A and B are shown apart, each in its own frame.
Chain A
Amino acid sequence: MAIIERPSTPAVVGAGAGAPAVVTPSQAYGVLRRPVAATGWRSWVFTVDHKKLGIMYGVVSLFFFLVGGFEALLIRLQLAGPEGTVLSAGLYNEMFTMHATTMVFLFVMPMAAAFANYLVPLQIGARDVAFPRINAFGFWCFLAGAIFINTSWFLGGAADGGWFMYQPNANALFSPSHGIDFWGLGLQITGIASLTGAVNLIVTILNMRAPGMSLMKMPIFTWMILVIQFLLLFAMPVITVALFLLMFQREFGATFFDVSAGADPLLWQHLFWIFGHPEVYIIVLPGFGIVSEVLPVFARKPLFGYRFVVFSGAAIGFVGWGVWAHHMFASGLGPVSVAVFSVATMLIAIPTGVKIVNWTMTLWGGKIWFSTAMLFAIGLIVEFTIGGLSGVTHAVAPSDTQQTDTYYIVAHFHYTIFGGAVLGLFAGFYYWWPKIFGKRLSESLGKWNFWLMIIGMNLTFGPMHIIGLQGQPRRMMNWTEARAGEGFFNLGFWNRVASVGSLILAVGVAFFIVNIWVTHRPSSKTPKSELDPWDARSLEWITQNPPKEHNFDSIPTVHALDEFFHRKYEVDHDTGEVTKVASAEEILAAEEAKADHHIHLPSPSYWPIILAFSLPVMGYGVIFNRFLIVAGALGVLLAMFGWALEPSVADDSDYDPPAEGGSNKELATIG
């Protein structure tokens, strides 16, 4: 079983590298010797480093962004003309279900996790997260779940019930393929990733801030991540229950949502949306956090009303729990419920509006640098506001009843999710790229990237307001010329515009991929980024680009919000004059001069990946063969015990040669 076991007898390794080192039997408790390689694929697969995990989260979710985008293009291609024949009706159902599932669960959420993983420890002055192995486990769970869901394409068809999987439509009777089983079990697995990630990041943020960093001196992005993790912590178990009930119904003959057995399918809707509405904020708050970092840097002003932005974020987190039934206005809840949820929904527009005002006021009077990151951030303010305004029209229940299940809803949530979450994430890409990869992305390609995406998204989603109010229903595989209407409101015209827009949007995204290639291809002439390319304000910039493995040579002491800015500049409070007193290089050199002598980093481990990949085995078992459940469960049990018995820091004997102190450990070549 052992993948790599320490030889039980002393062996000689490292031929040709001077004096041969002696390997002694492992002193560690685990079954397996620790994978301590610092280079090569092993250093990634077994890593517990939050930065490497962040990058892996980013790469995988970017891949799924392209997959989800491809699915969206097929949908728009189908709807480009009347009686579209690109997709069959069944395939169309699978396509819109998987487009939403992919974008929500396999792109936006993990991409937010990528930023959170990479940046939160850096922003709070920590060397890693609280539970590095759980962090690795979270990533592998996400990947295992993502692969599991997508294998359904090749095993009888993907889920086809819409991402909300309404009952009883998602019963085996109406969806006999295994797609929905894959969907439910896969989301359970990615849900474990979210839950463990939430616990991990909350503990990290609350317990591991640098000296002096009180909560009110914490960077705003970290604040928003904290709010999101609490939402995840309490939202994931609810969808877990719903998915279990769904599994019991589809696999074991229960009738939780079977109307003919007297069940109440609204139970599913309630459980789903009690998860689903906090989920909406889980999706959009990372973008809010990112632009709240980007805007002050490129407007060269502190964030206007930091406290208001923090507390409105927290308020969104609280009120977000009390609005779920606005997704169900058309289900006959009764006038009292509808009125209450309608008012609560209007209420939640207030903290959101506060944020918009604060961002706008941050820009007001600033010396604005229209970098690509800044353009995306401003794009978010504009586009998200449009989505927010159409959102208020749904809060009005009578108007919502007209809009339910039309393209108007599709327009709304794409303006909020694409305009809010995705533009925010792109702002983050351009802003933190030099921090993470050591090089700036090309600004000129970035401008193309931005403008094509903005034009594309407005051409795609803008017309959906019109076709929605004209009555074109969502989730219909085609529309007919005979019912398309005439003149300005002709459905055909606006559908064609939306389809052309989606192609422009795709070209815009392609520019981003090209930009990465141009910047990082072997023959690239892009110079290494300067230490502080944007004249930034927060703690993560007091590190090398990219940061060292242990992030900080010495943990900085924090005196102010925007600590880095206040170390670089002195502000005369009478005249308001700002004078530069230190360069980023000097500040970093001063920090490195007092480096800690003993830095203990958590050691890599096999167990997270073994544990995570045992879960899809169980998933296949539920669907195909119950024996596989046992096999997967044994893997889970083995990995849990191996994990529990393994110290979080590798024993010295795991290194070659055995180190004599903490500081001069040499990393072993495995084998």
Chain B
Amino acid sequence: MAEYSAFSLLKNALTGNKDWKPAWRKPDPKASYDVIVIGGGGHGLSTAYYLAKEHGITNVAVLEKGWLGSGNVGRNTTAVRSNYLLPQNTRFYEHSMKLWENLSHDLNYNVMFSQRGCLNLAHTPAQLDDYARRGNAMRHLGVDADLMSVDQIKRLVPALDVSGSARFPVLGGLMQRRAGSARHDAVAWGYARGADRRGVDIVENCEVTGFLRDGGRITGVSTTRGEIRAKKVALAVAGSTGRVMQLAGISHMPIESHVLQAFVSESLKPIIDTILTFGMGHFYISQSDKGGLVYGGDLDGYNSYAQRGSLPIVDEVMSEMVALFPGLARVRMLRSWGGVCDMTMDGSPIITTGPLPGMYLNCGWCYGGFKATPASGWCFAHTIAKDEPHEFNAPFTLDRFYRGLVIDDKGQGATPRLH
């Protein structure tokens, strides 16, 4: 498969762009593999990519129920950041950030990673103190963080209402300048192409309908395209984790599936040159390279597998946007959609061996899975290849809930809709 380069662009432009090849094959599944990865989203594809690249395991299939990237990897609001409080999260997401910084070169695929910063707005003195604490915790672990004054914020985001008469006046903010956004479809396609060219079979329209067992051990899966055997079966199915685990006979998990909505406005001239989060509600906004404002808010707040939300949250998100940017009140919304989020009981993910012999589990991404895509696959590939976690994902076990080792960055307790 050809390298993508300025030269190949020029050559194909001169020959009418007729010679581009598909970025990945459409193979039929083989009877058996060394590793099956269930789920052709960002995490499943990056897992397959790093299995091949870092561990030389290329006899791998990625099974996707629909088409590649049809789930959350194409539904998120594309924020990439590592501004966490707790060291377990900070180390993991900072590893992800470092992979993001070289991802386009690594994949030979432009994921349009743009480090435009992520600014959390503070609206009370106590909140500003809390941000200073989090910023110090980040800097302590070598992650960049800066407290910004209102004047600095005003220069960075002129459209923002920083007047004292705002409903929730802005008192400052915490900025991570290395944070940014990426084109989420390109991340899925880039990992798919990278895995495919190293020999991984990406099998679309192949839904897992059950697990094959030998005694207590998982030895493969039955699918809508026949039975496929494997030495190791890895799950990266995000919002569908509960459903797939039930196929394996595990009825209860420390996970609830919730729907999160996202929105895009009509295209505007450049107006917001960073990722901005509201501190007095749950709202975040950035601007895509096409000019549309990409924004979202809170979960709808009840269990859902519907991939669509309801109107009260739409109303809440729009009111939060107008509270921050009164000048955007007449901007029209272009489209909205929902994604199913696998919310854990502490807001942190699970990347682990087990819980059944022959099985490996990657789930619990809540609504922050996109930024984790590189490190999630990198750590999951390590865990699958070595049968033990890397130090970056060692804290993200399934049994931490029952051993008093929860990683609750927001301190919300076991109420998933609040994480």
A binds B: no
B interface residues with partner A (beta carbon < 8 Å) = none
